[in-house]
Structure 1
Amino acid sequence: MTNVDAIWLTIGFAGQLLFTSRFLVQWIASERSGRSVVPLAFWWFSLAGGVTLLAYALWRQDPVFAIGQASGLVIYTRNLVLIGRQRRQERSV
């Protein structure tokens, strides 16, 4: 394994760790609340993990993996935009 391969493997594992962390954040928030909630951090971890995994998928030249990650990024970004819009509206009221 070359140094470049090792670096990209580390990037891939880091992306997977970020992506998995979103579930831990959501679970902890829900347990604390006593109901199912999706905290803002869930979407930020989704975005960070998705971007990292997309970079890894592109390096691996895996179109299936890349398309899956890219489509997820659209959803994560859209949710962050909607949350930001809602928060701005709540502040202006």
Structure 2
Amino acid sequence: MLYDLTHELGQYLYDVFVQKFDVWFAFGLGAQLVFTGRFLVQWIESEREGRSVIPVAFWVLSLVGGLMTLVYGLARHDAIIILGQVLANLIYVRNLMLIGKATRKAAKSETP
């Protein structure tokens, strides 16, 4: 029984990670790595600051990774990924817009 379970798991993993490997799989994996990289950036910046912060790079990586994942979802015809990424990317864009607005406002108040 243990052999059967191990064999089935091995066959499943082979099917998912080897047999289905193609250009879109590699693209989707890259998208996930970019998206995950945002947490590393946030963690490093928070450690540097000594408090929890969300740097602009977090939102940029969120947007780039999210757009890549959206393209992947479109290529794979995956409605769940498409819906999730469309909504998430709107949030990433809005956060970048708010950061830009605050930056412009701060620059205006600093000029005499």
* TM-score bucket (shorter structure): over 0.9
Residue 24 in structure 1 maps to residue 40 in structure 2: yes
Deviation readout 1:54-74 (Å, 9 max, x if unpaired)? 000111111011100110000
Residue identity (%) = 48
Rounded to whole Å, the distance in 2 between the matches of 1:24 and 1:42 is 9
Aligned to 1:35: 51
Query: Unaligned 5+ residue runs, structure 1?
Result: none
Aligned equivalent of 2:5: none
TM normalised by structure 2 equals 0.78
1:8 aligns with 2:43: no
The alpha carbon displacement at 1:6 in A equals 1.7
Flag the structure with more relative contact order, 1 or 2, with Cα contacts below 8 A and sequence separation at least 6: 1
Where 1:38 maps in the other structure, the secondary structure is coil
C-alpha distance after superposition, 1:22-50 (max 9, x if no partner): 00000000011110000000000000000
Match of 1:81 among 51, 75, 97: 97
User: Number of aligned pairs?
Assistant: 91
Alignment partners' CA distance in 1, 2:74 and 2:39:
24
What SS does structure 2 have at the residue aligned with 1:91?
helix
